[in-house]
Amino acid sequence: MSRLIKNTVLSPLVTGPLLYLLTASPPSIRDALLLRLPIKNTTALFMSLKWLLAIGLIRKANKVLSDWADNKWIWKDDKSVWHWETEVAVVTGGSNGIGAMVAKGLVSNGIKVAVIDVQPLSEDLINCPNISFYQCDVTSRGAVQKAGKAIRAALGSPSILINNAGIGNAGNILDVSPEKLRAIFDVNLISQWYTVQEFLPDMIEKRKGHIMSTASMASFLGIAGMVDYCSTKVGALAFHEGLAQEIKYRYNCPEIKTTIIHPGWTRTRLVKPLEKALQKAGQSIMDPKTVADAMVRQILEVKGGQIILGPTAAPALRALPSWLQERIRDKTAQQATVRATTAVA
């Protein structure tokens, strides 16, 4: 509700006409409106509306420029090249959780989906038409190559890649074992090199594609007890930014979209061991369908960029004074206080 009020107050479509009616409309209209307003200091009212209009216009211009930049400086896309009934999407870690919901959302729009995962499909996906399963360890370059070859032979070349596979640990830096540390970096970050190396060349050849990564609000700050997880998500953000630059300037193919999504705490198997601690800390937990719906919508709208499902000012955290950054980090210190084994997201 507060966001709705904020967006209404700062909308130029609201403040602009209102300012006109109160200052420049015919006297009969202006006077009638002023009589109905329970405000005596009209000078302050007019000044406030002017500031709100100016701020709203700046926000609107900023959004337009940001969307343009996220779209690799392409002003208008040729969406006619996308035919959902012929498109093939690869979803890593798509057997359960957010990935499974994304797979179902894509096939409901006619897209064929290849799920690659070490775990078998969940029961609600087994009989779902247009979903094919390829057992694959995404931390193995050879396994990804083998899965890619099988997918192209059966379904055709994928035009959509969703790097959703992820695992998480809850534990302090001194407690994490070398095996778990290696595993979380391999699954959450290194695997994205392997999948992009496997599927990007076909997208470049066709000058069409969309690569999406599932990151986290942890991309923007480190959390005690989850330093390994946060580090991989910071890396995922850097990978997304660098990939977008290489697609534009190394392969001269800005038509290929790149998206990264940053959900907050989401009710998945990864978060389940932490739910009590999060609730005690007053943190809300998102429904995984909210995340999946946002990802599917981004694909269907043929848009690239960042999707932030949390405080929209999070990317600006590093621009704040150090003392304020540290106060924000201090508030997260008790959110991951239990030890948990690795769980698939």
Query: Which tokens go with 220?
Result: 């923007």
Length of the chain counted residue by residue: 345
Q: Is 108 exposed, middle or buried (CB count within 10 Å of its CB: 0-12, 13-18, 19+)?
A: exposed
Name, in order, each residue with C-beta under 8 angstroms of 118's C-beta and a sequence gap of 6 or more: 135, 136, 137, 138
Quick check: 162 and 217 in contact, CB under 8 A? no
Q: Is 20 a catalytic residue?
A: no
Query: Which tokens go with 1?
Result: 């509700």
Q: Is 233 a catalytic residue?
A: yes
Q: How far apart are CA 13 and CA 244, in angstroms?
A: 34
Given 79, 233, 248, 331, the catalytic residue = 233
Given 104, 194, 229, 257, the catalytic residue = 229
Name, in order, each residue with C-beta under 8 angstroms of 304's C-beta and a sequence gap of 6 or more: 70, 71, 72, 210, 244, 257, 258, 259
Quick check: 270 and 184 in contact, CB under 8 A? no
Q: How far apart are CA 194 and CA 63, in angstroms?
A: 33
CA distances from 306 to 34, 161, 175, 241, 281 (A): 43, 16, 33, 10, 27
Helix/strand/coil (H/E/C) assignment for every residue in 80-133: HHCCHHHCEEEEECCCCHHHHHHHHHHHCCCCEEEEEECCCCCHHHHCCCCEEE
Query: Which tokens go with 130?
Result: 């247009």
Specify the DSSP class assigned to residue 273: G
Quick check: 121 and 95 in contact, CB under 8 A? yes
Q: How far apart are CA 36 and CA 31, in angstroms?
A: 9
What amino acid positions are annotated as catalytic residues? Answer: 229, 233
